[in-house]
């Protein structure tokens, strides 16, 4: 028997059979089944090739404007970064946000930061705190409030930072980490998002389509 379920935002994946004969990496994806009153739906990460969910939904930006993903997208694509104000991994990667924003702008990719931490909306991730953070870090791109974490749910975003890059048709071409070294920009060997944007501009297929990285869980309510 195999079993996966989510309690709140917690994914519980159970399997009973031979899973670790040679390590768990080779395990098949597990089936999903509700248990103990837990929610049956698991928010899986958006699949490559999927359309950008909720692209018309208007969200509040730190500027006070209401913006949708569609309105932010550029002629080449759209870069959505689930972020927040305090996660150490965001703070570590944040020194690369400006560079990413500049590169995106040059490539015709609209970039947006999204804060889905509804669980901290009355504290560290309030709109006022977001405004202060955006000003302090000199964000050059919109920083949106994701009310009720609905966008994060639709994307299957689990952590901050968690990046989703869409092409001109708003189809997902890359999801995962910004690069392969949160701690030190100078030691980056794989510049995942930059390379993916380069592929979009060149009209080529993105080579590395998914990556994973340690991050702070999105604080849903």
Partner 1 sequence: MAMAIIALTGVACGAAPALTPVTSEGLLERVREFRGRKAVVVHVWATWCAPCVKEFPEFVRMAQARADRIAVIFVSADFPKDADRVREFLAAQGVTRESYIKSESDQKFISALSDQWTGALPATFVFDTSGALVAFAEEALPEGGVSQYIEEVLNP
Q: Between 110 and 175, name the residue whose CB sits nearer to partner 1.
A: 175
142 touches 113 (CB < 8 A): yes
Q: Which residue, 83, 89, 88, is CA-closest to 117? A: 83
- Least distance from C-beta 7 to partner 1, angstroms? 6
Q: Between 10 and 106, name the residue whose CB sits nearer to partner 1.
A: 10
78 touches 113 (CB < 8 A): no
- Least distance from C-beta 32 to partner 1, angstroms? 11
Q: Between 17 and 202, name the residue whose CB sits nearer to partner 1.
A: 17
Query: What is the pairing mode between strands 109-115 and 77-83?
Result: parallel
The SS3 call for residue 139 is: coil
Q: Between 18 and 202, name the residue whose CB sits nearer to partner 1.
A: 18
Residue 6, strand partner residues: 11, 39
Q: Which helix (H) or strand (E) holds 221?
A: none
- Least distance from C-beta 11 to partner 1, angstroms? 5
Q: Please state the φ and ψ torsions of residue 113, each to the nearest 5 degrees.
A: -100, 140
- Least distance from C-beta 29 to partner 1, angstroms? 7
Site of interaction with partner 1 (CB under 8 A): 1, 3-4, 7-21, 23-25, 27, 29-30, 36, 45, 87-88, 92, 158-159, 162, 177, 180-183, 211-218
Q: Which helix (H) or strand (E) holds 11?
A: strand 10-15
- Least distance from C-beta 178 to partner 1, angstroms? 11
Q: Between 3 and 127, name the residue whose CB sits nearer to partner 1.
A: 3
Q: At 115, list the tokens.
A: 């804060």
82 touches 125 (CB < 8 A): no
- Least distance from C-beta 153 to partner 1, angstroms? 14
């Amino acid at each position: 028997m195999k079993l996966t379920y989510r309690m709140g935002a917690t994914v519980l994946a159970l399997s009973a059979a031979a899973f670790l004969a040679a390590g768990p990496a080779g395990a098949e994806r597990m089936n999903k089944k509700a248990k103990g009153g837990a929610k049956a739906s698991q928010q899986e990460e958006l699949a490559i090739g999927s359309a950008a969910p909720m692209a018309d939904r208007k969200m509040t930006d730190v500027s006070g404007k209401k913006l949708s993903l569609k309105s932010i997208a550029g002629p080449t694509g759209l870069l959505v970064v689930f972020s927040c104000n305090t996660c150490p991994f965001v703070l570590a990667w944040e020194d690369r946000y400006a560079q990413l924003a500049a590169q995106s702008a040059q490539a015709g990719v609209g970039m947006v930061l999204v804060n889905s931490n509804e669980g901290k909306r009355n504290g560290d991730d309030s709109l006022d705190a977001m405004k202060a953070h955006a000003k302090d870090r000199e964000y050059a791109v919109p920083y949106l409030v994701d009310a009720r974490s609905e966008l994060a749910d639709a994307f299957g975003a689990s952590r901050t930072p968690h990046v989703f890059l869409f092409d001109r048709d708003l189809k997902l071409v890359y999801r995962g980490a910004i690069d392969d070294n949160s701690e030190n920009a100078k030691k980056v060997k794989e510049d995942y998002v930059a390379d993916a944007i380069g592929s979009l501009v060149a009209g080529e297929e993105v080579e590395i389509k998914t990556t994973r990285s340690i991050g702070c869980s999105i604080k849903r309510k």
